[in-house]
Amino acid sequence: MEEWRQERVREIFQRFTSLFDLTILEHTDDTIYARWHVDETVLNPADIAHGGAVYSVTDAICAALGLRNNHLLTRGVNFYYYRSVLLGDAYIRADFKKVGKYTSVMEAEVTQNGKLCAKGMFDMAYMPQAEQIEME
């Protein structure tokens, strides 16, 4: 991946995820892998990560993956929860399943302690304004 694009991914990633402790561990043209340190700020009254936080983190990871072709807007999602996300580190991996000119389909999984916690198929759409941002 080009150096300027990697830097841009880091900038966008930080802006959209400033409320979460996320670290990108691997990022290629086809996949992204990140660690999410789940802390008390995202827990619901049952002391598990709020479902909206789990979804938000996963959506942000897909947007970071889609930056290469400006597929940053979430057009549609099928998202499923299998296990609770607890305090500690969780991991998110997203991969392209289909890349088109105006949309991409990405599969994303959230795991913790080697167990699948959530999974989604994200249909991410083209955002023309991103080209202008990249040129600046």
Query: Could you list the pLDDT tens digit for every one of the 136 residues in the chain?
Result: 466 656 766 676 677 677 788 998 999 989 999 999 999 999 999 999 999 999 999 999 998 888 878 787 889 999 999 999 999 999 999 999 999 899 999 999 999 999 999 999 999 988 876 544 444 4
- Residue type for 16, please? F
Nearest to 53 by CA among 94, 19, 15: 19
The pLDDT, as a whole number, for residue 135 is 40
Residue 60 DSSP SS3: helix
Range of the domain at 38: 3-135
Domain harbouring 105, CATH code: 3.10.129.10
Spatial contact of 85 and 110, defined as CB atoms under 8 Å apart: yes
The pLDDT, as a whole number, for residue 19 is 77
CA distance 74 to 27: 20
- As for how many domains the chain has, the answer is 1
